[in-house]
Structure formats: structure tokens, C-alpha cells
């Protein structure tokens, strides 16, 4: 099958969105188990990412820059950094990681309760 750059880019945008939103919702002070869960998720994400080329490049990046999962700020900053490394390779603009704060909103409000309006 032919490569479809539009589908590949769309998958990328959707994946980055989930990736960064997950970091934005990660606990500020996680338990050891939560940190391990995030680290494991990131490794499996890199291994199972559907674009094989992308996955192998990203796995190399993770070796060079191991996932930071000690807390929300570290995780969000690390994710922004590695996304910027991918941007560099694809000759895209660098994102200002100081602006990552409120950029990714899960739309889930405060959570905790059953109903959200
Ligand atoms: P994207 O890079 O998809 O970014 C989406 C939005 O996120 C941007 O518009 C911006 O608002 C925001 N953003 C940009 N940079 C950052 C940052 N550093 N931190 C936080 N937010 C940011 N494509 C390939 O062609 N080859 C590859 O090898 C490849 N590898 C990939 C590896 C992974 C793990 C992922 C998730 C995607 C990969 N992609 C790859 C897809 C590629 O990164 C882009 O998603 C795709 O090209 C669409 O680019 P875009 O310009 O719309 O912005």
C-alpha cells in the first residue's frame, strides 16, 4: 500500500494531543506506582506506535532522553522536549515549552464526580 502523508500527519496530531494531555493530567506528586505506570505507557507507546519508522526513531529518542515521570511538571516538560526533537528532525517549528501550562485541556472539568456539565 502507498504511503499516505495526510493520514500519517493526522495520526501524529491525534497521538501528540493524547500524549501531552495525559502529561497535563498526570499527578503533581505521583506515587511510585503511578510513575512506573507512566514510564511503562511511554515505552509501550513508542514500541506500538502504528507508523513503524516513527516508532523506531522515537525509541531511539527515548534511549537518549529517558522519560521523566517524577511528577506532572517533569513529565510535561520532558514530553514537550521530545516532541521538539521530532519537530527538529521533520524541520518543523520549535514549540515554546514555557507555554505548555494550560495548552492541553482534557475537557473533563474537575473529574472525581460522575456527572460533568
Ligand atoms: P504536530 O507535530 O502533530 O503537533 C500538533 C500540535 O501540537 C501543533 O500544532 C502544536 O500546537 C503542538 N505542538 C507542537 N510541538 C509541540 C511540543 N514540542 N510540545 C507540545 N505541543 C507541541 N511523522 C513523520 O513524518 N515521520 C516521523 O518519523 C514521525 N515520528 C513521529 C513520532 C511520534 C511518537 C509521533 C506521535 C508522531 C510522529 N510523526 C512523524 C508525526 C509528526 O510528528 C506530526 O504529528 C505530523 O507531521 C503533523 O504535524 P503538525 O505540523 O500538524 O504538528
CA distance 75 to 27: 10
Whole-number Å distance, alpha carbon 83 to ligand 1 midpoint, is 7
Write the pLDDT tens digit of every residue in 52-110: 999 999 999 999 999 999 999 999 999 999 999 999 999 999 999 999 988 999 999 87
Whole-number Å distance, alpha carbon 57 to ligand 1 midpoint, is 13
- Closest Cα partner for 23 from 64, 66, 87, 77? 77
CA distance 49 to 11: 10
- Closest Cα partner for 103 from 50, 24, 47? 24
- CA-closest residue to ligand 1 atom 26: 54
In the numeric block, which cell numbers belong to residue 45? 507507546
Residues in contact with ligand 1 (CB, 6 Å cut-off): 8-9, 12-13, 15-16, 20, 49, 53-54, 57-58, 80, 83-84, 86-87, 90, 92, 95, 100
pTM above 0.90, yes or no: yes
Whether the complex's predicted ipTM is more than 0.90 is answered with yes
- CA-closest residue to ligand 1 atom 49: 9
Amino acid at each position: 500500500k502507498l504511503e499516505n502523508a495526510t493520514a500519517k500527519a493526522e495520526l501524529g496530531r491525534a497521538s501528540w494531543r493524547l500524549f501531552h494531555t495525559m502529561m497535563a493530567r498526570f499527578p503533581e506528586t505521583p506515587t511510585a506506582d503511578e510513575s512506573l505506570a507512566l514510564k511503562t505507557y511511554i515505552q509501550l507507546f513508542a514500541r506500538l506506535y502504528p507508523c513503524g519508522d516513527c516508532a523506531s526513531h522515537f525509541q531511539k529518542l527515548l534511549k537518549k532522553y529517558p522519560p521523566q515521570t517524577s511528577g506532572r511538571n517533569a513529565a510535561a516538560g520532558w514530553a514537550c522536549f521530545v516532541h521538539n526533537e521530532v519537530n527538529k528532525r521533520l524541520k518543523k517549528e520549535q514549540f515554546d515549552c514555557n507555554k505548555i501550562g494550560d495548552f492541553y485541556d482534557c475537557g473533563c472539568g474537575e473529574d472525581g464526580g460522575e456527572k460533568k456539565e
